[in-house]
Structure 1
Amino acid sequence: MLLLVFFTFLSYASASCPCSDESHCQPIASPPKQEIFAFSTEPNNWRQYDWSKVTTVALFRNPNDPELMCYAHSKGARVVLRGLFSVAKLTNKTERDLWLKTQVEMAKEYHMDGINIDIEDPISDSDSALRDDLTQLVFDTKVAFAGAIPGSQVSFDIAWSPDCADGRCYDTVGLANVVDFLVVMSYDERSQIRGACIASANSPLPQTVEGIEMFRKYGIPDSKLVLGQPWYGYNYPCISMSDGNICHLEEVPFRGVNCSDAAGSEENYSDIQKLLINSTSGRIWNATLCAPFFDYVASDGRRHQVWYDDPQSIGMKCDYVVANGLRGIAMWTSDSLDYSNTPDARAQTKAMWDALPTW
């Protein structure tokens, strides 16, 4: 009870407003029903976002960005913190309460609209107590933010499948019941490769849909599912190539599986477009996975294969989101495009933003 009183007090103890229009320091009271959720990792690219679409910006960087906050609020878009907490500390209620107090204070100080909780550590299927502690932390976060910032948004980033993907055996239904929505990270879907150790799509449409349908079978409402999409891809060095343009990978283990996408390196969409210019194959469309890829030869003579998403593959998944009434789309990251002023960069960046839904 004392904790709730403290957070309610904070709602009246806001820092001075840095905006020229002081109304822009107020939380967004009437957010849209659908989400275009932009993860921001760089400080200046936000100026080039398509603000006719953005509804929430999650600051995965220094949260003290008053210029962004004022501008986003002027456009009716929310700005939220990134919430990180170690699974190893979940059993310590004192640590949880201290973390929560700090998050609320920070959100109030910077005139933010909520928090996006990003906890990706594994929790064993047998450790129900730890799962319960995680759900309790998220519940406490929702209560605290609601008391301090009326109408605030609390979301949780979750793996592409609720079936213990990457060893994250969370209480998916319990988390969904607590938060405003889940951001389903439908990327890095080859973090655990259980079949042939070969290069393939980062976010293939059939597997992405399979993951979302599993959430729906758990009874999670479509209004609580935001489909996270990658604005990046993987650059794989091939140890050999076989018929059908199959790139075989070095085995790099991850969380109990011998092969993973860690055999490659992440590449931003902007860098992938530069590599594509000098590819040996040109862009190839895989109609089964609904994803593009290409080959190129590195300066050391080694053959590489790059799998990524582009407006065509993103657009197909956005069509699925709209057709099935999901809450929206999230982009990891909204800063992975080329926001320079060259004609090619402008065209490529516009095409990616244009692929997102307009409700």
Structure 2
Amino acid sequence: MLRFALVLSSVLLVCRSAVCPCERPELCQQIREEADFEVFVFDVGGKTWKSYNWSMVTTVATFGKYDAELMCYAHSKGARVVLKGDIPLHYIVDEHNRTAWITEKVNLAKSQFMDGINLDIEQAVDKDSTEYYALTDLVTETTEAFHREIPGSQVSFDVAWSPNCIDKRCYDYVTIAESCDLLFVMSYDEQSQIMGDCIADANAPLSQTLNGYDQFLGLKIDPKKLVMGVPWYGYDYPCLNFSQEGVCSVKEVPFRGAPCSDAAGTQKQYKWIMKQVNSSMSGRLWDDKQKAPYFNYKDQKGQIHQVWYDDPQSICPKAEAVKSKGLRGIGMWNGNILDYSDEPVARQQTMLMWNALLGC
């Protein structure tokens, strides 16, 4: 039985090393060069990646089905392609489970000619719990294994917009940042815990967003470990009440200790938003306090909705802050949700969103 297992293992290793899906074998070599400025793209599947601005992209985190064509093309442009990594934390409290999971991911990355892994573990964790320490160990051990087995590989870890136990994610941010190559800061869903009035508000208000980075930097985390994530989507909130001042009261949907949350709304892609705003009752409006666009519309039943989103005007000052604070780079959730059709207005809107990542 042991002999069979060793033979099978050898066959698998041969297969992994033999089957390069790219037209040119050198495109299966992992990317080792580190970009001076990171543009980190989450891709959720399909073929819209063919329309990305590849002059900017440095890393693609694949959250959809494995696409060998994407890997080959990204490598031809000098961009990394990394796996998604997620695991229930209670499972990896056991050291042996943790090691097995890491080994599995390293082998998968090798077999798919990938360049690292993005750890997207957004689970609630209590400070100093067993899960708290297991998560820190997971990041450290994953980084060590990937760097050892795939030289030059990248290990990133996704964090909320602030390190202050947002969504009860009380992690050891300092040690995690030291352990991995970069933190992708999800500067969106900032209404996931609404402690005040249950009203519709900006997904990523500017001052709150930038305050989050000041908090990370206040922990003495190296700014070159931080990538700013911006939203290419918005929230559509059905209004329970719509005041004369244009305030939209929303349904109470609790989330991790907060009485209200953005779960009262529905996430909408930028391409939907750009079409809907044109037929809205208000047209595009601008909130100067939150530095964010929004609009109001009525659905077929006559109910008023308020939609908050980000566009080049709201993204540009964030991108400028990336430069002024000396951060590692910028990225978005997610690359697929712009309108990549040949329609002239859509092409212009899409180009402006990509360009906004580099500032104004």
- Does TM, normalized by the shorter one, top 0.5? yes
| Deviation (angstroms), 1:12 | 12
Q: Which residue of 1 aligns with 2:72?
A: 70
Secondary structure of the residue that 2:252 maps to in structure 1?
A: coil
| Deviation (angstroms), 1:61 | 1.1
Equivalent residues of 1:15, 1:110 under 8 A apart: no
TM-score computed with the length of structure 2 as normaliser: 0.94
Equivalent residues of 1:251, 1:263 under 8 A apart: yes
| Deviation (angstroms), 1:195 | 1.1
Residues 1:14 and 2:28 aligned together: no
Q: Which residue of 2 aligns with 1:292?
A: 293
| Deviation (angstroms), 1:358 | 7.6
Which of 103, 106, 114 is the equivalent residue of 2:105? 103
Query: Is there any run of 5+ residues in structure 2 with no aligned partner, and where?
Result: 1-8
Q: Within 5 Å, which residues of 2 pair with 1:180-219?
A: 180-219=181-220
Q: Distance in 1 between matches of 2:45 and 2:301?
A: 31
Equivalent residues of 1:200, 1:307 under 8 A apart: yes
Q: Which residue of 2 aligns with 1:323?
A: 324
Equivalent residues of 2:319, 2:359 under 8 A apart: no
Equivalent residues of 2:295, 2:307 under 8 A apart: yes
Counterpart of 2:310, as a letter, is: D
Deviation sequence 1:170-208 (CA, Å, 0-9, x none): 000010000100000110000000111100000011000
Which of 30, 50, 54 is the equivalent residue of 2:53? 50
Counterpart of 2:140, as a letter, is: F
Query: Is there any run of 5+ residues in structure 1 with no aligned partner, and where?
Result: 1-5
Which of 36, 39, 46 is the equivalent residue of 2:42? 39
Equivalent residues of 2:318, 2:359 under 8 A apart: no
Which of 16, 25, 29 is the equivalent residue of 1:26? 29
- Per mean C-alpha deviation after superposition, the further-off stretch among 168-177 and 316-325 is 316-325
| Deviation (angstroms), 1:86 | 0.7
TM-score computed with the length of structure 1 as normaliser: 0.94
Cα 1:143/1:341, change in 2 over 3 Å: same
Equivalent residues of 1:15, 1:109 under 8 A apart: no
Aligned residues: 349
Q: Which residue of 2 aligns with 1:168?
A: 169
Secondary structure of the residue that 2:201 maps to in structure 1?
A: coil
Q: Distance in 1 between matches of 2:48 and 2:15?
A: 32
Q: Which residue of 2 aligns with 1:228?
A: 229
Q: Which residue of 1 aligns with 2:119?
A: 117
Q: Distance in 1 between matches of 2:356 and 2:28?
A: 31
Q: Distance in 1 between matches of 2:47 and 2:194?
A: 36
Cα 1:126/1:144, change in 2 over 3 Å: closer
Q: Distance in 2 between matches of 1:221 and 1:289?
A: 27
Secondary structure of the residue that 2:167 maps to in structure 1?
A: helix
Equivalent residues of 1:232, 1:266 under 8 A apart: yes
Q: Which residue of 1 aligns with 2:84?
A: 82
Q: Which residue of 1 aligns with 2:259?
A: 258
Q: Distance in 2 between matches of 1:295 and 1:112?
A: 43
Counterpart of 1:307, as a letter, is: W
Q: Distance in 2 between matches of 1:12 and 1:76?
A: 25
Q: Distance in 1 between matches of 2:241 and 2:359?
A: 43
Counterpart of 1:66, as a letter, is: A
Q: Distance in 1 between matches of 2:16 and 2:304?
A: 59
- Per mean C-alpha deviation after superposition, the further-off stretch among 258-267 and 235-244 is 235-244
Counterpart of 1:19, as a letter, is: C
Q: Which residue of 1 aligns with 2:3?
A: none
| Deviation (angstroms), 1:15 | 4.4
Deviation sequence 1:81-119 (CA, Å, 0-9, x none): 000111221212222122111111110011000000000
Q: Distance in 2 between matches of 1:341 and 1:262?
A: 33
| Deviation (angstroms), 1:135 | 0.7
Equivalent residues of 1:183, 1:227 under 8 A apart: yes
Q: Distance in 2 between matches of 1:210 and 1:51?
A: 31
Counterpart of 1:238, as a letter, is: C
| Deviation (angstroms), 1:303 | 0.2
Q: Distance in 1 between matches of 2:340 and 2:198?
A: 35
Q: Percent identity?
A: 50
Secondary structure of the residue that 1:330 maps to in structure 2?
A: strand
Q: Within 5 Å, which residues of 2 pair with 1:133-144?
A: 133-144=134-145
Residues 1:337 and 2:350 aligned together: no
Counterpart of 2:17, as a letter, is: S
Counterpart of 2:57, as a letter, is: V
- Runs of 4+ with deviation above 2 angstroms: 10-16
Counterpart of 2:115, as a letter, is: D
Q: Distance in 1 between matches of 2:107 and 2:114?
A: 10
Deviation sequence 1:241-275 (CA, Å, 0-9, x none): 12321101111100111110000000000111111
| Deviation (angstroms), 1:14 | 3.1
Q: Which residue of 1 aligns with 2:64?
A: 61
